[in-house]
Structure 1
Amino acid sequence: MTTLSSEDLLRLQQEQFRHDQRNHSDIWCLPKADRLKHYGLHFAKYVGRIARGANETKTVERTIVDAALVCLSAANVLHQHLQPKDAQALSSQIDPLRNFADAAGRFADACEKIDHLEEFLTIARMANEDVLSWVVTSASERQFDLEGGIKHRRKELAARQFYIAD
């Protein structure tokens, strides 16, 4: 079962901060509002992957990991200290995709509110928490090692930046 403690989440957020600085300078240099919009587009893309089912070439596990990474990045932009949630909280819903689609839609709504100078921070944070809940629940239901998947994916992404010497 996938469980993440408060300490695990803080460490993952800190690691994601360093990862984003090193490997995503094109996004890192954007204003925070634009970064949030970028992350909202990622969430929408991942909902689409899940909705395509067998027609999608990327695995559900890969999408869970990608959503986790974006959730961590978004939390850092939002100055949101992520906290653990009950992994079973969402598992009783008939169609778990609805939880992810709902959270992604609310995150997009928050991003749209930025342009209208409307309150968005609370909506974005709550939606991001719900994305995290979906990620943890989905990984748990699949008995998938989320932290291992995150480490592996970060290495793949870092390898793209072959010109950076650590």
Structure 2
Amino acid sequence: MSLDAMKPETLLRWQQQQFQHDRRNHTDIICLSRMDRLKHYGLHYAKYAGRVALHPNDLSVLSRTLVDALLVMLSAANVLSQRLDRDFQVRADAKFVSGLLEDIADASGRFCDACEKIDHFEEFLPIAKQANLDMLQWIFVLAAEHKFDLEALVLVRRQQLTERQFLIPADQQG
């Protein structure tokens, strides 16, 4: 993973690009309330933890999960009004806290817990924001461990998602 990916300005640029991408390609989700969008992203996180549990040694699955988790994490940060460039402290020497599966399961579980608290009118925002930051840490650790190029993976995945929207002309890329 490039050290550029760990710069605050890269995180801000990725968040801004994700906002534009979501507006163009995910109108079905963008039209939901912010609370429902958070719940949607929590379901994605749970799905990714399950994927890692089933395929912990499959690099193609881990790569796909990594980029999907990164895009969802950026979208969740945008819904949470979370400035990753200010809130996330990058540590180049970071390691998994408990392990590959344990760390993603913990972060996604806490994010889902925050989403459940919404329905009970309990405080959820600090929990959701911290879980989202922990998901970003998991992404960076996994990318560094396997030398995944986050920038390249994001570009490819966003292009795949953009191509699904066949009704929108290609010159209106987002």
Which residue of 113, 116, 122 maps to 1:118?
122
Query: Which consecutive residues of structure 1, in runs of 5 or more, have no partner in the other structure?
Result: none
Deviation at 1:95, TM superposition (A): 2.1
Which residue of 92, 98, 101 maps to 1:97?
101
CA shift digits 1:46-82 (9 cap, x unpaired) = 0000000179896110100000000000000000011
| TM-score, normalised via structure 1 length | 0.94
Q: Tell me if the contact between 1:13 and 1:72 (Cα under 8 Å) persists in the aligned partners.
A: yes
SS at match of 1:164: coil
Which residue of 146, 153, 164 maps to 2:157?
153
How do 1:30-109 and structure 2 match up within 5 A? 30-53=32-55, 59-82=61-84, 83-91=88-96, 93=97, 95-109=99-113
Task: Figure out how many residues of one structure are paired with residues of the other and give that number.
Answer: 165
Partner of 1:20: 22
Query: Which consecutive residues of structure 2, in runs of 5 or more, have no partner in the other structure?
Result: none
Q: Tell me if the contact between 1:49 and 1:63 (Cα under 8 Å) persists in the aligned partners.
A: yes
Q: CA RMSD in A?
A: 1.8
| TM-score, normalised via structure 2 length | 0.89
* Distance in structure 2 (CA, Å) of the matches to 1:160 and 1:106: 31
Identity of aligned residues (%): 55
Q: Tell me if the contact between 2:117 and 2:124 (Cα under 8 Å) persists in the aligned partners.
A: yes
CA shift digits 1:91-139 (9 cap, x unpaired) = 4x45221111101000000000000011100000000000000001101
Which residue of 116, 129, 132 maps to 2:136?
132
Q: Tell me if the contact between 2:56 and 2:101 (Cα under 8 Å) persists in the aligned partners.
A: no
Q: Tell me if the contact between 2:56 and 2:62 (Cα under 8 Å) persists in the aligned partners.
A: no
